[in-house]
Structure 1
Amino acid sequence: MSRSRESSDPLLAIGALADRTGVSISAIRFYEAKGLVDSERSTSGHRRFRKSVIRRLSFVLISQRLGYSLDDIRAQLDRLPNGRTPTERDWNRLATGFAADIDERIAGLQRLRDDLDGCIGCGCLSMQKCAMWNPDDGARRFGTGPRYLLGDSSADVRVDVGSR
């Protein structure tokens, strides 16, 4: 490794990466095995990570906390270039593509927050409100599960029931 490469793109030992990110060494190895981060080998065979892996690991951590699977996270990270440190433009491209899914999740969480204490169209009919919002479990025609939290409308059920 040349001196100029070292100073312009310093490589971190796995312990230093763990210290900076708060991710255990075993978890870093796991993420590497799953293809979420890459390392290079020193002449002595030790793993060395580009500093940009700090950002990748941070992305993995926050995405996991938001409920994304490792497969989902890898699909997003696969949009970044291999073999070089991602640029701001690379991260912007990833963020733009990821934003639509995040927006959908936010909307779903808002519906859950706003509607969980009312009829959710699940078919249980256990609440007095359900007789009005989901009469005779009319929401079942949209499919299984909590139809109103999944995006269907109680207005469609009430219109359908009213036209009988």
Structure 2
Amino acid sequence: MKKNRHCPNKRELTPGEVAQRCGVAVSALHFYESKGLISCFRNAGNQRRYHRDVLRRVAIIKIAQRIGIPLATIGEHLMQFPAGKRISPKEWAGLTKKWRDELDSRISTLTRLRDDLDGCIGCGCLSMEDCPLRNPDDQLSERGTGAILLDPGGLK
């Protein structure tokens, strides 16, 4: 009797099986391992094998990457869930709450930048006193005269 390659009772998966099921390259799995996002174990023949929970972890990684969450942040958040442990719906809700907050902040910043971009057409970067993106409301004048390091994150 031939064994089904995608048998739900199969406890361990090869890198090729994980890659195929997740739609990523095997090299991506190795990269995720090197970053501590997923883990594998070695079988008796010293070949990489993955527990089935890695399928969910890779899906979470791909979702987070798609919405622009940096890998370092993904890693920080996934560290709270031990390798080999399935992430529960409650844990997923907590994780997505953090990511939603980050996205909301990013969306707010991008919306503000988009709306202020029209002001740049008139400014033409000829007037640092009147630039809505680099010096809104001439906030830099409060720091004194002369050359001032412009930190776009410092002006709000």
In the alignment, the residues of structure 2 paired with residue 108 and residue 26 of structure 1 have an alpha-carbon distance, to the nearest angstrom, of 34
| Residues 1:8 and 1:92: Cα distance change in structure 2 (over 3 Å) | farther
Deviations 1:116-163 (A, max 9, x none): 2224xx993459xx379999971324873447xx772xxxxxxxxxxx
In the alignment, the residues of structure 2 paired with residue 134 and residue 37 of structure 1 have an alpha-carbon distance, to the nearest angstrom, of 41
- The within-5 A match list for 1:17-96 is 17-96=18-97
> Alpha carbon RMSD of aligned pairs, Å?
3.7
Asked if the contact 1:63/1:73 (under 8 Å) is kept, the reply is: yes
| Residue 144 of structure 1: aligned partner | 150
Deviates more, 1:17-26 or 1:57-66: 57-66
Deviations 1:47-70 (A, max 9, x none): 222232222222223333443332
- Which amino acid counterpart does residue 42 of structure 2 have in structure 1? R
Aligned residues: 142
In the alignment, the residues of structure 2 paired with residue 105 and residue 132 of structure 1 have an alpha-carbon distance, to the nearest angstrom, of 18
SS of match in other structure, 1:68: coil
SS of match in other structure, 1:118: helix
| Residue 115 of structure 1: aligned partner | 116
| Residues 1:139 and 1:11: Cα distance change in structure 2 (over 3 Å) | same
Q: Which ranges of structure 1 fall in alignment gaps of 5 or more residues? A: 1-5, 153-164
In the alignment, the residues of structure 2 paired with residue 8 and residue 58 of structure 1 have an alpha-carbon distance, to the nearest angstrom, of 20
In the alignment, the residues of structure 2 paired with residue 118 and residue 97 of structure 1 have an alpha-carbon distance, to the nearest angstrom, of 33
- The within-5 A match list for 1:5-20 is 8=9, 10-20=11-21
- Which amino acid counterpart does residue 144 of structure 1 have in structure 2? L
Q: Which ranges of structure 2 fall in alignment gaps of 5 or more residues? A: 1-6, 144-148
Deviations 1:30-50 (A, max 9, x none): 110110001122222222222
What TM-score do the two structures reach when normalised by structure 2? 0.69
What is the CA distance between 1:88 and its match in structure 2? 1.4
What is the CA distance between 1:94 and its match in structure 2? 1.6
Task: Kindly indicate which of the two structures has a greater share of residues assigned to helix.
Answer: 1
What TM-score do the two structures reach when normalised by structure 1? 0.66
SS of match in other structure, 2:82: coil
SS of match in other structure, 1:49: strand
| Residue 158 of structure 1: aligned partner | none
